[in-house]
Amino acid sequence: MLFITVCVNRHEIINYYKFDHIGLIWYDFSIEYLKNFIFMKKQLILYVLALVITVAAVSVWAYQNSKTTLNDGRLVLYYRDGCVHCANVEKFMAENGVKEKIVKLEVKEGAIDRANADEMLKYAKKCQIPLSTLGFPFLWTGSSCLMGDVDIIDYFSGQIKSK
Domains and CATH numbers, the chain: 3-70 (no CATH), 75-162 (3.40.30.10)
Provide the pLDDT for residue 159.
Answer: 86
pTM score: 0.56
Tens-digit pLDDT string for the chain (163 aa): 444 444 444 444 444 545 445 544 445 556 666 677 778 888 888 888 889 999 988 888 877 665 444 556 779 999 999 999 999 999 999 999 888 888 788 999 988 989 999 999 999 998 999 989 999 999 999 888 999 999 999 999 998 887 6
Torsion angle (degrees, nearest 10) of CA 51, 52, 58, 60 = -170
Distance (Å, whole) CA 33 – CA 15 = 13
Provide the pLDDT for residue 31.
Answer: 65
Question: 153 Cβ partners below 8 Å, 6+ apart?
Answer: 88, 89, 92
- Side by side, the strands of the sheet bearing 145-147 are 105-109, 75-79, 138-140, 145-147
User: Helix 149-162 to helix 84-96 angle, to the nearest 10 degrees?
Assistant: 10
Q: Which residues pair with 108 in a beta bridge?
A: 78
Provide the pLDDT for residue 9.
Answer: 44
